[in-house]
Amino acid sequence: MSKSQITFNVELRERVGSGGSRAARREGFVPGVLYGGGEDPVAITLKRNEVLKAIETGHFLSSTATLVHKGTKQLVIPQAIQMHPVSDQPMHVDLFRVSRDQKIKVEVQVHFTGEEVSPGLKKGGTLNVVRHTVELLVPAGNIPESLEADVSTLEIGDNVKISDITLPGDAEPTITDRDFTIATIAGRTATADTTTEEGEEAEGEEAAAETEAEAESED
């Protein structure tokens, strides 16, 4: 379950277009658009400090938020955010209306546990992460904060599949045609070993040639 409680106190934006957006930014707001839910799109302004606080949670685009307007609340999920290329300040936000039971697609981050005791990693293997996030189909009111992948028992060559991860009972991955890989424990590659052996053999041949040349010069 997502532990973040993101709230946006918004006002309707009467001026639309680039001129209205610039005016909102000058006054310390972030212009945005609220759409979806079978209703018409609405131009809004959000408080810049609330948007920055939401971004700092680290899962701005994968958590629901409560939009408040004159005491009326609406559950939304951020769909997109535009940042200034130089100042890195929020420039525009798109919000989508949802209900708590409505299933939506959302990217959820994968956290790995047990790395410090994994036998494969202790033997010199490396954790090769194939997917840092997994797209889930889940009710908007039950989005998990993250998914946990346990690697504590994995040896070199083992992997973590999506079936190894416990999902909320009402969530499912959007990829359903295969048990896809999340991460593997990789060891030294055959290519690296072969390269090392070939290098050692070449060095041996060079040394032998040098010795033979020195012997001939002495003669």
Spatial CB neighbours of 41, under 8 Å, sequence gap ≥ 6:
33, 34, 35
Q: What is the pLDDT of residues 28-58, one digit of tens each?
A: 999 999 999 889 999 999 999 999 999 998 8
Spatial CB neighbours of 112, under 8 Å, sequence gap ≥ 6:
127, 129, 148, 149, 150, 151, 183
Q: What angle do CA 90, 93, 97 make, to 5 degrees?
A: 155
Spatial separation of the C-alpha atoms in residues 1 and 148, rounded to whole Å? 12
Spatial separation of the C-alpha atoms in residues 180 and 168, rounded to whole Å? 18
pLDDT in tens, the chain (219 residues): 444 579 999 999 877 777 888 889 999 999 999 999 889 999 999 999 999 999 998 888 889 999 999 999 999 999 999 999 999 999 999 999 999 999 999 999 999 999 999 999 999 999 999 999 999 999 999 999 899 999 999 999 999 999 999 998 899 999 999 999 999 999 865 444 444 444 545 555 554 455 454 444 444
| Four-residue CA torsion sign, 39, 42, 47, 51 | positive
Spatial separation of the C-alpha atoms in residues 90 and 142, rounded to whole Å? 27
**What is this structure's pTM?**
0.73
Phi-psi region of 171 (alpha: psi -120 to 50; beta: other; left: phi over 0): beta
Q: What angle do CA 136, 80, 36 make, to 5 degrees?
A: 75
**pLDDT confidence of residue 5:** 78
